[in-house]
A = this chain, B = another copy of it.
């Protein structure tokens, strides 16, 4: 059975994918998805995405053992344990911990995907694993797939689009899939971008902002393709690794 690969370009249109009943892969390369993937790979028990700083603070009041992480304008909010740099989420800091995470766009993409049967977290760091897990679920349950790029404040994001193209590439290789026009376009962009992935991503608008506030290492880290073999799943408001999910 052929699986269709759709593309939605911002958090706000995630409900379309939910209505289609698709397996959703939520992509926010800089940096929410990359941070979640890194935190869980380094042993965090769970990441709980919330939309506001206040919501994060209230959650910790009720659960003092939680770590608070996130960003506003790229920087750590006052009183938080960590910002939104994946490099901060070391094994020493996160192993065995639950982390409340609030970011501008990525957490919104996850929250807007609620109601979908399966929501995976994807980035360059786990492109292949996210693609394979999405395909496995889609085949097993007779569903299509939506690649959901988070965007930045409702705007097109270069790095998320190219990452959708990288995941589409894995889906093309691994299964009997048809790419929608949007997924095809992202894949074409990825074909050019992969020749110099870091250089291409560095020219993106949000990457340039991150470099300006001193976070160029984050851009480099998040540009690594298939560094981790994990497929985080978002369910009931919490992201966990697949193998700990069931």
Chain A contacts to B: CB under 8 angstroms: 7, 9, 155-158, 161-162, 180-182, 184-186, 188-193, 200, 203-206
A158 vs B184: C-alpha distance in the bound complex, in angstroms?
7
Chain B residues with Cβ below 8 Å from A189 are 185-186, 188-189, 192
Rounded to whole angstroms, the CA-CA distance of A204 and B156 in the bound complex is 21
- Contact call A162/B188, Cβ cutoff below 8 A: yes
Query: Which residues from B are CB-within-8-Å of A190?
Result: 188
Are A200 and B182 touching (Cβ within 8 A)?
A: no
B188 touches A203 (CB 8 A): no
Q: Contact check, A7 vs B156: say whether CB atoms are below 8 A apart.
A: yes
Residues from chain B with Cβ under 8 Å of A182 in the complex: 155-156, 158
CB-based nearest B residue for A160 = B181
Q: Which residues of B contact A9 (CB under 8 A)?
A: 9, 156
